[in-house]
Amino acid sequence: MRRQPWLLAVLLGAAGGVVFAAISTYDFVQHLDRQVHNLHCSFIPGVSHAGESGCQVAMMSPYSSVLRSAVWGGVPISLAAMSVFAFLVFYALDLLVTRRKDDPRATGFLALATVLPAATSLVMLVISLSKLGTTCKLCVCIYLASAVCLVGALGLWRSAVRGRRGEEPYARRPDHGAEPAFVGRAKSSSGARLVAVASGPATPMAFLVAAFVVGVAFVGAPVALYLALAPDHARFIGTCEGLPHPDDSYGVMLRVERGGAGGAPAIEVLDPLCPACRAFEQRLAASGLAGRIDRKAVLFPLDSTCNWMVTEATHPGACTVSEAVLCAGDKAPEVIAWAFAVQDRIRSETRADPAAAARIVKQRFPELAACVGSPEARSRLNKSLRWIVANNIRVLTPQLFIDKVKLCDEDVDLGLEYTLSNMLERHARGKLATVPLERPAPRPAASGGAK
C-alpha cells in the first residue's frame, strides 16, 4: 500500500477530535447531576483543572450547547463534534480500505465533510474571543483537530484530482472507448476489483448519499439518545424556597428591566461587584428570556463593610458601589451596567486601598458624590439588607425569584434557559408555586434470604 500522508493526517486529526470532544462532552454531562465538578482543561488529554478557567467560562456560556430550552443544559455541541469526528474516522478508513482515496468525488465528499467541524470551530473561536474574552484549551485542541482534518482532506482531494487528470489521456484513448482505464497494481482477482473501483469510474452518487445518511446517523443517534436519557430537572422547579415578604416596604427595589405585556414579576438579589452576577446577566441576556420578565433588583453586597452577614469583604467596594446604585434613582441600571464592566478593577483597587471604590465611583458619576457615603444612602442600603433578612434569603448572589418562587442556585448557569422558560410557562398558566422536593423512596433493605 502506498503511503497516504493526507489520509493519515485526516485519520489522526479525526481520532484526536474524537478524544478531545469526548472529554469535553464528559465534562458537560457530569454537570447534569446539578453539582460542581472540576473540568479537564488542558492540552494534555485527561488532565483536570479546578476553579475558574477558560473551559469553565466556555462550558457555562450559552454557546456550549443547543436546544437549551428543550432539555436542561441543552445538547452539548461537543457531542455532535465527537460524532462528526467519529464519522470522519469511519469515512477515512473506508477510503483507505476501498482505495477510493484516489477518487476526486469521494475525497471531495470527505473535504466537504471536514468543512463542517472546521467552520464550526472557526465560529466557536470567534465567539470565544469576541463574546467570552477567553479561550478554552480543550476547545483549542478540537479546533486544531478540525483544522488538521480539513487540511488533510483538501490535500487528499487535490492529490486525487491531480492523479485523475494524469489518467485522462490514457482513459480517453479510442481503443478504450468509453470504459474507464484499469490502472493499478492488482495481484489477485479481488485486488483487481478494488483497483478498478479506485481508478475506474467516479464513485457513484448513491454511495455518497449513503455516506451522507451514515454521517447524519452518526450525529443524530447520539443526540436522540441524549434527549431520551437526559435526567428530568423539571421536578426541581419550585423546590428552592420562596419569598415570604416580597413587598417593597422599605422602598429599596430597583427596576432593572421592564418586561413586555404580561411579563412575569421577578426580583433579582444581586451584588454589583459579584462576577457570578455579571455572568448571570450575560447569560440572561443571551437566553432571550430577559424580555419576558419584569425584573426588579435588591442589592446584597457581599462586603463586610456594610454587610454583617459576611466575615470579610468577598467583593471589596461592593457597599460603596451599592450606595451609588441606590443614589442613582432611575439611572440605577446604568450604574449597575458600569459596575459589571469595571468590577475587577474596583475590587482589586479597593482591596489595596479601601477608599478606592468611592474615588472610582465619584470620578465616573460626579453627580452622585454628595449622596454616596451619606447617612441616607447607608441607611437605605441597610434597609436593602434588612429586606434580605426579612425574606430569609441565603447569603449568596445572584438569586432570581419569579413571582416569589426561587430559581434554584443549580439552575442559574447551564440550566437557565430550560428552568426559566419552564417557570415562565408555569407562571403564565398560574401554576408556579413553591413545592417540596420529592425525594426518591429509600431502597428496600437487602433480603435476608428466602422465607
Alpha-carbon distance 302 to 314, whole Å? 6
> Closest approach of Cβ 222 to another protein, in Å?
4
> Closest approach of Cβ 120 to another protein, in Å?
16
Looking at the Cβ atoms of 229 and 261, the one nearer to another protein is 229
Looking at the Cβ atoms of 48 and 374, the one nearer to another protein is 374
Looking at the Cβ atoms of 48 and 392, the one nearer to another protein is 392
> Closest approach of Cβ 223 to another protein, in Å?
9
Looking at the Cβ atoms of 258 and 394, the one nearer to another protein is 394
> Closest approach of Cβ 266 to another protein, in Å?
19
Looking at the Cβ atoms of 2 and 308, the one nearer to another protein is 308
> How many C-beta atoms lie closer than 10 Å to residue 348's C-beta?
12
Looking at the Cβ atoms of 244 and 366, the one nearer to another protein is 244
> Closest approach of Cβ 386 to another protein, in Å?
7
Q: 416 pairs with which residues across the strands?
A: none
Alpha-carbon distance 203 to 148, whole Å? 24
H-only helix segments in 232-374: 275-287, 318-327, 332-352, 356-364
Looking at the Cβ atoms of 23 and 256, the one nearer to another protein is 23
> Closest approach of Cβ 331 to another protein, in Å?
22
> Closest approach of Cβ 214 to another protein, in Å?
6
Query: Which DSSP string do the residues of 48-80 spell out, in sequence order?
Result: -B-SS-HHHHHHHSTTSEE-TTTSTT-EEHHHH
> Closest approach of Cβ 203 to another protein, in Å?
14
Query: Using an 8 Å Cβ cutoff, are 202 and 103 in contact?
Result: yes
Looking at the Cβ atoms of 133 and 440, the one nearer to another protein is 440
> How many C-beta atoms lie closer than 10 Å to residue 288's C-beta?
12
Alpha-carbon distance 142 to 138, whole Å? 7
Residue type, 24: S
Alpha-carbon distance 91 to 199, whole Å? 18
Q: Are strands 293-299 and 405-407 parallel, antiparallel or unpaired?
A: unpaired
Looking at the Cβ atoms of 166 and 201, the one nearer to another protein is 201
Looking at the Cβ atoms of 89 and 339, the one nearer to another protein is 89
Alpha-carbon distance 189 to 399, whole Å? 73
> Closest approach of Cβ 389 to another protein, in Å?
5
Report the phi/psi class of residue 360: left, alpha or beta, with left for phi > 0 and alpha for psi in -120 to 50: alpha
- The grid coordinates listed for 270 are 444581586
Q: How far is CA 448 from CA 62, 128, 441, 444, 451, in A?
A: 51, 57, 20, 12, 9
> Closest approach of Cβ 376 to another protein, in Å?
7
* Residue in 220, 254, 263 with CA at minimum distance from that of residue 327: 254
> Closest approach of Cβ 33 to another protein, in Å?
4
Please tell me what DSSP assigns to residue 131. I
Instruction: Walk across the sheet containing 254-257 and list its strands.
Output: 254-257, 293-299, 264-270, 399-402, 405-407
For residue 45, cis peptide bond before it (omega within 30 degrees of 0): no
Looking at the Cβ atoms of 82 and 264, the one nearer to another protein is 82
Alpha-carbon distance 196 to 403, whole Å? 71
Looking at the Cβ atoms of 319 and 339, the one nearer to another protein is 319
Query: Using an 8 Å Cβ cutoff, are 89 and 11 in contact?
Result: yes
* Residue in 295, 227, 255 with CA at minimum distance from that of residue 70: 227
Query: Using an 8 Å Cβ cutoff, are 378 and 306 in contact?
Result: yes
Contact residues for another protein, defined by CB under 8 A:
18, 22, 25-26, 29-35, 79, 82-83, 86-87, 89-90, 93-94, 97-98, 214, 217-218, 221-222, 225-226, 229-231, 249-250, 306, 308-309, 374-376, 378-379, 382-383, 385-386, 388-389, 391-396, 409, 437, 439-440, 442
> Closest approach of Cβ 96 to another protein, in Å?
11
